[in-house]
Amino acid sequence: MKRPRLRQIKPLLTPIDTRTVKPFNTRSYKARLQADPSLKFYSTAAWQQFRSAVIAERGRRCETCSATPDTVYLDHIEELRDGGAPLDRSNVQVLCGSCHQKKSIRARMVRFGLV
Ligand SMILES: [Zn+2]
């Protein structure tokens, strides 16, 4: 006896995004690069070497909360787009993802005069 075939029924409703504040960094790299040409700096060999050297010296520990995640960020204390020195050891800190995100959002709010 032949079994009846099951068909996928197309949903009648499609989900919509009702969020008024869109999630952080959802644009493509190309779109973000267009909005902020200083992003290109992060793919240079000079930055990659500097980043590796500083993280090796200081260890993979967040300088804000002391977490030791697998992935750490070398953060510019004064951001490049705010005129911070790109390869100055006194202008960088090792941060975990959470602290880096919080710090970046805060810097953005200050830049746009929201705080
Ligand atoms: Zn942290």
For the cut 70, the answer to whether the pLDDT of residue 58 exceeds it is yes
CA distance 15 to 27: 20
Q: Which domains does the chain have, with CATH numbers?
A: 30-111 (3.40.1800)
Residues at Cβ < 5 Å from ligand 1 ion: 62, 64-65, 67, 96, 99
d(CA 65, ligand 1 centre) in Å: 4
CA of 62 from ligand 1 middle (Å) equals: 5
Average pLDDT, the chain: 90
% pLDDT > 90, the chain: 57
pLDDT at residue 24, as a whole number: 64
- Give tens-digit pLDDT for 10-39: 888 888 888 877 666 667 888 888 888 888
HEC letters along 24-44:
CCCCCHHHHHHHCHHHHHHHC
